[in-house]
Amino acid sequence: MSSDDALSVRPSNSSDDDAIARLGGHAFALDPARICAAYELGGPRNGRVICDGPDVIGTSLLLPMGQYFGQRRVSMAGIALVAVEPHYQRQGVASTLLRSMLREQAEEGMGLSTLFVTTKALYRKLGYADAGTRFRAIVDPRHLSADERSGTLLPMDAAGETRVRALYGAHAPAYAGFLDRSEYVWTRILRPWSGRTPTCVLARHDNGQVEGYVSYSKSPTPSGSHEIVVHDMFASSPWGYRRLWSFLGSSCTRLVDGVVLYTAPHDPAYMLLPEQRADVRLADTWMIRLLDLDAAFGQRGYPPRLEATLDIDVYDDVIDENNGQWRLSVSGGRGAIRRGGAGDLRTDIRGLSALYSGFAGPGALAASGLIEGTPAALAIAGTVFGAAQPWMREMF
């Protein structure tokens, strides 16, 4: 490999398509056509490549959207499909690519970066911290009730899709970690993608309101039967979840081995199962990293009646502007961060990202060496950020 000075990061263009498809196909063991489709869906301006001279040796995809924390939307850049040429791996190429992308997004005022990873060591070094979960539950069809028969089930059409998006948008902010979904995410949920063709069903209550929807497809199993795989399930009421589970239960013939739901222990869809007898395993832990501190702390929400000040001393070896002492002031459910303060809570950007998400409380983070501070500062941090248990159903 040439020296680091010879490596350059730039937006991808059509001349890079073959290299992107080859690198992504090799990295994720996917048909290269699926990699091309993902980049096309992500948007022509959002691909990034790293080059050694004229040669593309690595690539990644930016996915601008939003993520909810404290019931408010925070601007977020998802990162997906990071791939590096095999003979360039473990030489700092991915780190150079990602550092460039993080700085770029911080300069544009993006609050957060979020991603799913297969290995955490690289991303922890770049300041990412575990922030939320995604569990995989396999529900035995015998434990699904088909008793809730009120209301009307509707197929998806253009008007139905508008209702689905509006229903999700109205209620998603209440769930820490949920996405303000981009077209990239919605398309993968509602439309044919990656060899699957989803079926989407809406549940309309007798009062005329659509109160839930489910998007699912069927996947063959080694036994010769199949599973029902739920890509999305959301409802605005307990009735909505009961009606959707009743529909799925009535759809389970003897050829259905199970219903797969990506969930969390506190997911209302899981909590409202007629019987919580499922094979539940942790599928993914996703990570976040703070980018522009003013955006990250100013856009999120906080407990509405809390009046608090937290002084933070931050170290960030990727984004220089984040270094130093900051004072976070919280009032009336909103927050603002400014230079100054006494630095009562000390952390690097990874520890601050973990604290911000609410995935773990200050006590656990201090015990693991991610943050340190005075007892008063740790207590204030616990009140400000709480224990939100972020999660999400979809993967990007």
Confidence at residue 14, expressed as pLDDT on a 0 to 100 scale: 94
Nearest to 328 by CA among 344, 348, 304: 344
Q: Quick: pLDDT tens for 18-72.
A: 999 999 999 999 999 999 999 999 998 999 999 999 999 999 999 999 999 999 9
φ/ψ of 94, rounded to 5, equals -60, -40
Q: Quick: pLDDT tens for 210-224.
A: 999 999 999 988 888
Q: Quick: pLDDT tens for 143-160.
A: 887 788 999 999 989 889
| 176 DSSP assignment | T
* Mean pLDDT confidence for 298-323: 97
Per-residue pLDDT for 4 more than 60? no
Task: For strands 334-339 and 324-331, give the pairing.
Answer: antiparallel
Q: Where are the beta strands (DSSP E) in the chain?
A: 7-11, 47-52, 55-69, 72-84, 112-115, 129-139, 152-155, 179-180, 199-204, 210-220, 226-235, 256-263, 278-290, 308-315, 324-331, 334-339, 345-348, 371-373
Mean pLDDT of the chain: 94
Other CB atoms within a 10 A radius of the CB of residue 43 amount to 15
Task: Name the percent of the chain lying above pLDDT 70.
Answer: 98
pTM of the model: 0.95
Contact 185, 179 (CB under 8 A): yes
Confidence at residue 2, expressed as pLDDT on a 0 to 100 scale: 58
Per-residue pLDDT for 5 more than 80? no
Confidence band (pLDDT; 50, 70, 90) for 364? very high
Confidence at residue 3, expressed as pLDDT on a 0 to 100 scale: 58
Q: Quick: pLDDT tens for 249-277.
A: 988 888 888 999 999 999 999 999 888 77
- Residue-range domains of the chain with CATH: 4-129 (3.40.630.30), 141-276 (3.40.630.30), 293-385 (3.30.1050.10)
Helix (H, G, I), strand (E, B) or coil at 338: strand
Confidence band (pLDDT; 50, 70, 90) for 195? confident
* Mean pLDDT confidence for 199-205: 96
Confidence at residue 192, expressed as pLDDT on a 0 to 100 scale: 85
Angle at the Cα of 377 from the Cα atoms of 373 and 382, rounded to 5 degrees: 110
Q: CA 247 to CA 216: how far, in whole Å?
A: 12
End-to-end CA distance of the chain: 31
Confidence band (pLDDT; 50, 70, 90) for 380? very high
Confidence band (pLDDT; 50, 70, 90) for 1? low
